[in-house]
Amino acid sequence: MKILFKYATVALLLAGAAACSQPSKRASIIDENIAVAEKQIGMLADSSETGGVIRIPSTWKNGRIDYVPVDDWVSGFFAGTLWYMYELTGDEAWAARARKHTEILDSVQYLQWHHDVGFMVYDSYGNGLRLKNIPGYEDVIVQTAKSLATRFRPVPGVIQSWDADRGWQGERGWQCPVIIDNMMNLELMFKATEFSGDSTYYNIAVKHADRTMKEHFRDDYSCYHVVDYDLTTGDVRGRCTAQGYADDSAWARGQAWAVYGYTACYRYTGDKRYLDHARKVAGFMLDDKNMPADLVPYWDYDAPNIPNEPRDVSTAAIIASAFYEMYTYTGDGLYKQKADRIVESLSSPAYRAPVGGNGGFLLMHSVGSIPHGSNIDVPLNYADYYFLEALIRKGRLEAGEPLF
């Protein structure tokens, strides 16, 4: 069932019989964000469909929108954002746009040269299937899982993230690099088993989650970004970073992927180990001395020039969405309180773009990869995606509705 958040008018109670009622102009934080998002995301969608050509916006910098090809790891987030706009408003025009932006990703179901197909297909086709039950979308999800399964390495028991002989990754001397981000692919695998009845995908997801839990985390439950495995013995060859400050630092978005990913694993398996692990990683983040009061993290918890380091809004949005889900399983009000605080922060002028600005993206001040000099202090399409997801989850919780 779609969520429809209407702009609320609150009647004021007046003390005197002669007084006149005056409607309050203050909408809820969810409604207010929807109103801004309709303008911003609508503007971005218009730009991305100029001339009848569907393009995929990833960021806005130097006064222009950057578009990415279908095989880029962020290619599914804008389609997912459009599906979320449909879910938030009930306006069929958003669904029509979302479908166009989803179906240009059709070829991703056969992609085998990197691991990010979970982001690319489940955020697009998965949301479309959930909201509209469109024929053929389920088949795309299962085929995508089949392609991702070709990257499963049975000896170490993990899904290999990157090919070790391509691009800059090929210069690191890795055999089987696995990044913490890969936890975000597992929902696709669980769903593929649900749709197909083939337990292969479920079993791969569980094996990957278990080995990652064992090898990626330090005693304080911060995580390494990259773990490299030996394909012959299955042993760990090294632990390092690619996008964080240092090999032994806590790259902020990596911690968020871990919390979100293990919470989702609990949703599909009911294995309490996963929820407990997510809570421990969340505890690391919340207790870290460098977590700002507004809960929008610096790009790395150990970056050397804090507080003069870039914030990463995308990390905050991911955390908020994950915390709302964690609250439903634990009943611990801390998670909802912290998620609400993040939503308040991201709804402020410090992080939410003014209407008509930011190229149409909703949020400002995200970080892609500082070590690569890529997308530093710019909007990112996945920050918008997870922020809208957090709003949906917040609305469902406060309406007493199930999240899923």
Please answer whether residues 94 and 85 qualify as being in contact, where contact means their C-beta atoms are separated by less than 8 angstroms: yes
Beta bridge mates, 366? 378
- Residue 9 is assigned to a structural domain of this protein: no
Mean pLDDT score, 173-185: 96
Is 386 in a helix, a strand, or coil?
A: helix
For residue 19, being part of any structural domain is answered with: no
Band of pLDDT at residue 152, cut at 50, 70 and 90: very high
For residue range 314-353, list pLDDT tens digits in order.
999 999 999 999 999 999 999 999 999 999 999 999 999 9
Q: What is the mean pLDDT of residues 119-136?
A: 98
pLDDT at 22 over 90: no
Count other C-beta atoms under 10 Å from residue 25's C-beta. Answer: 7
Percent with pLDDT over 70 in the chain: 93
Please, which residues have CB within 8 angstroms of residue 339's CB and are 6 or more apart in sequence? 319, 320, 321, 323, 324, 327, 390, 394
Residue 5 lies in a domain: no
| Over residues 42-57, mean pLDDT | 96
Is residue 4 assigned to a domain?
A: no
Domain that holds residue 393: 29-398
Using CA atoms, how far residue 329 sits from 255, 364, 389, 403, in Å, is 20, 31, 18, 11
Q: What does pTM read for this prediction? A: 0.93
Give the pLDDT confidence score for residue 26 in this predicted structure: 42
Asked if pLDDT for residue 389 goes beyond 80, the answer is yes
Q: Evaluate if residue 64 carries a pLDDT over 70.
A: yes
- Asked if residues 189 and 148 have their Cβ atoms less than 8 Å apart, the reply is yes
Residue 219 DSSP code: T
Tokens 């006064």 identify what position?
A: 63
CATH of the domain at 280: 1.50.10.10
Q: Of 122, 96, 234, nearest to 178 (Cα)?
A: 234
- Band (pLDDT 50/70/90 cuts) for residue 164 is confident
Q: What is the pLDDT at residue 173?
A: 86
Is the pLDDT at 56 greater than 70? The verdict is yes
The count of domains in the chain is 1
Contacts of 165 (CB under 8 A, 6+ apart): none
Both tokens assigned to 81? 């954002």
Alpha-helical segments (H) within 160-247: 186-196, 200-215
pLDDT for 1 beyond 70 = no
Asked if pLDDT for residue 223 goes beyond 50, the answer is yes
Q: Considering only CA atoms, which of 326, 199, 174, 312 is closest in space to residue 250? A: 312
Place of tokens 């970056």: 303
From the CA atom positions of the chain, what is the Rg in Å?
A: 21
Give the pLDDT score at 18: 32
Q: Is 236 among the domain residues?
A: yes
Q: In the structure encoding, which two tokens stand for residue 76, read together?
A: 């599914």
Provide the annotated active-site residues: 116, 181
Whether 170 is in a domain gets the answer yes
Whether the per-residue pLDDT at 97 is higher than 90: the answer is yes
Q: Binning pLDDT at 50, 70 and 90, where does residue 14 land?
A: very low
Calculate the average pLDDT of the chain.
Answer: 93
Average pLDDT of the segment spanning 31-42: 98
Of 38, 123, 127, 32, nearest to 73 by C-alpha is 123
Could you report the per-residue pLDDT of 232-253, keeping only the tens digit for each?
A: 999 999 999 999 999 999 999 9
Give one DSSP letter per residue of 40-96, joined into a string.
HHHHHHHHHTGGG---EEEEEETTEEEEE-TTSTTTTHHHHHHHHHHHHH--HHHHH
Q: d(Cα 154, Cα 156) in Å, to the nearest integer?
A: 6
Q: Is the pLDDT at 6 greater than 80, yes or no? A: no
